[in-house]
A and B are shown apart, each in its own frame.
Chain A
Amino acid sequence: MFQLFLIAFRNLGTHRRRTLLLGGAIAGVTALLVILMGLSSGMKETMLRSATTLATGHVNVAGFYKVTAGQAAPVVTGYPKIIEQIRRDVPELDYVVQRGRGWAKLVSDTGSMQVGVGGIDVQDETAFRRVVQVKEGSLDALSQPGTLLVFEKQAKKLDVKVGDTVTIVAPTMRGTNNTVDVRVGAIATDVGMMSDFNVFVPSATLRSLYQLRDDTTGAILVYLKDLKQVPHVQARLRQKLAEAGHVLMDNDPRAFWFKFEVVNREGWTGQKLDITNWEDEISFLSWTLTALNGLTGVLIFVLLVIIGVGIMNTLWIAIRERTREIGTLRAIGMQRTRVLVMFLFEAMTLGVLGTLTGAVLGLAVCLGVNAAQVTVPEVVAVFIMSDKLNLAVHAGSVIGAMVFITGCTTLISLIPSFLAARMKPVTAMHHIG
C-alpha cells in the first residue's frame, strides 16, 4: 500500500503544473471556507458576547410589577433576597448582577431620542467592562449617581461630550412624568444594534427617575461558567423560586419588551417573575445568524460543486494522458483495485496538501484581519454588534474543513479512478494520446 502511495505522490511531482493548478484551486476553496467560517463564528461570538453583556445574562430572573391591572412595569421587587437564593441554588454560577430597565426620552440641548435605559452597578460589571470600549471619559464615572454612558452614535446625534448634561424624561409607574439630569461620564464605541437604543446610568439614578425603592431592579442577570448548563439552571430556578413563594409567569421565549401587551391584558396585580435565557432575550436577532449561516452554506456548496467538477475533469484528462502507463502497470500484474487505490491516493494526497496550504493561508488572512482591526461598514456593524471585524478561527473547524474538502476531492476522483481501473491492458497499451 505504501508503494502505491509513493507512486501516487511521485505522479503528483511529475505533473507539477497540473498539481499546482489543481492544488491551488483546492487551497483557494479551503482558505475561503476557513475565512467564511471564521467570519461566521466571529460574528456569532461578537453578537453573543455583546448581547449577553449589554442586554441579557445567560439566564435572567426578571418580571413585571403591576400597580393596576392595565399598567405593567418591568420591575423585580426585593431583588437582594432573590440574588441570595440564586447564589445558593445555582452552583454553576459564574457571577450575578442586577440591572434596572427603563424606556425614556434623552434630551440634550440640541436634540432628543427614545432609548432603553439600563441601570447598572458598574463596580460589579466585570464582563461589561470587557465588552464596552470607552472612547472618552471613564466607566468609573458611572460609580457616581447622576452620570450616563452613551455610545458614539448617540453622542453624535445628541451633540454631547463628556461633561455635558442631558435630561432623562420618563413616566413613573403612577403615570407622572419624571425627569433627572445626568452628566455624560463616558462615551463608548458603538456595539452594533444594541448601542443604537441602549444607554446606561447608575442603578440609583434609574431608581430615582422611576421613584423606586432601593431593593427593586429590572432584572437579575445570571452568568454561568458553562453555557450548556442554561436549560438545567433555568428549569431549576423556576422550580426553586416557585417553592420560595414567588409567582412565576408562563414561559414565553421572547425579549421582555414584547411581553408588555400580553402582561397588560392580564388581570393580575402585584409581582410576577419571568425566567428567560439569553436566546429568548435576543430572539429578535437570531434571524441574522440563521441568514449568515445559510449564506455561508450556499456559498460553500457552489464553490465545492465548481471545484468538484474541476477535479473530476482534471483527473479525467490525467487518466487519458496516462492510459498507456495504466496499460503497462496492468500488463505487469497490477490489480484493478490497486490501480483504483493508486488514483484515489493521488487525489487524496493532492487534497491533503491543497487543504493544508489553504488552511494556513486562511488562518493567516484571519489573523491579519484581526490584527489590522478592520472597521466594518455601519450597516454590518448594526448586526454584528461591533464596528471591528472579528474572525474567530477554531482548530476543530479548520481540521473539519480540511477533512471535508479532502474527502470531497477523494470521493469525486472515484469515478475517473474507477474508469481507469476498468481498462483492459491491451486497449490501454494501444491507446494513442
Chain B
Amino acid sequence: MKGYLKYFSGKLAWFLVTLVAAFILNFILPRLMPGDPVAIITQRVVQGMTSQAGVQKVYEQYAELFGTNKPIHEQFIIYMRNIVQGNFGLSFSQYPRPVADILKSSIWWTIALQFPAIIVGWLLGNTLGALAAYLKKGFDKVLMPISIFISNLPAFGMAVILLVIFAVRLKWFPTAGGYGFDMIPNFSWDYIKSVLIHYQLPFWSIVLISIGGQAIGMRAMSIYELNADYVKYSRFLGIKDRKIIGYVFRNAMLPQITGLALSIGTMVGGALVAEIIFSYPGLGSTLLTAVMGQDYPLISASTLIITLMVLIANFLIEILYGVIDPRIKAAQIE
C-alpha cells in the first residue's frame, strides 16, 4: 500500500509541475506570434472612418481595454488573477463576448462528436486488429491493406471524400451545420432527427480514420504477444487457448490504452478538420478562428482546456497502469 502511495504522490507532483509550466506557456506562446490583435480589431471597427486621429484614438481605446499596452509581466499577473477567479476574460475577436461563454457554447458539440467517435473507432479498430492477428489468413489479408490505406488518408481527405460522395452527389446527408439550416433548436423529434443526421458524416469521418490505425497497432502487438515465450510456455503446459488469448490481449492492450488516453486528451485539436469541412460547431473551429484573429484570451483558454485534458488523461492512465500492470509501478518506485 505504501508503494502505491509513493507512486501516486510522485505522479501527482509531476502532474502539478507540468501544469504550471503548461500554464505559463499557454500565456506566453500566443503573445509571441508576430502581429497585433488590437490592430485587427481596430481595422474591423474603423472601416469607412475618414479621420486619422479618430483611428488612432480607437486603437488606443482598445489597447487600453485589453491591456496590450502594458508590459507582459503585468499582463500575466492580471491573467493569473482572473483565471484564479475562474474568469477567462473577454475575447478579442468576438469582443465583448466573454471567453467562457464562447467555450461553453462550443465545447459540448466537440465532446459529443469526438468522444463517441474516438471510443467507437478504438473499439472497432482493436477488435478488428485482434481478430486479424488471431484469425490470420483471409481476414488478415483483406483487413490489413484496407486498414493501411484508410489510416494513411489524411483526415481532411476522408472528410472531403465523404462530403462529396454522400452529401454532394448522393444527397443522403447535409453538407453543413450541426442541425437543419431551416430549424430553430427545439426539443422535438424532428430536431433530434436533424441533429442525428447532421452528426453522421463528421462522426464517420473520424471513426473510419481511427479504425485503421488502431487495427494496425493492435494487430502488431497481438502478433508479438502471441509469439511471446509465456504463450509458448503456457501452450506447452496445456493451458486452454481461450485462457491464453485472454492474457495475450490484456498485454497487447496496454499501449493501446495509452493511445486512447492521448486521443481523448487531444480531441479538441482532432475535431478541427471535421468541424471545418462540415461547418460543424465546436471548439476546434473556435480555436482556429482564435488563432487567425490572434485572440489571446480565447487561445489561452482553449489551449488550457486541451492541456488539462491531456494531463488529466495521462495522469489517470498512469494511475490505472499502476493498478493494471504492477510491473510499471514496481519499476518506477525503485
Chain B associates with chain A? no
A-to-B contact residues, CB < 8 Å = none
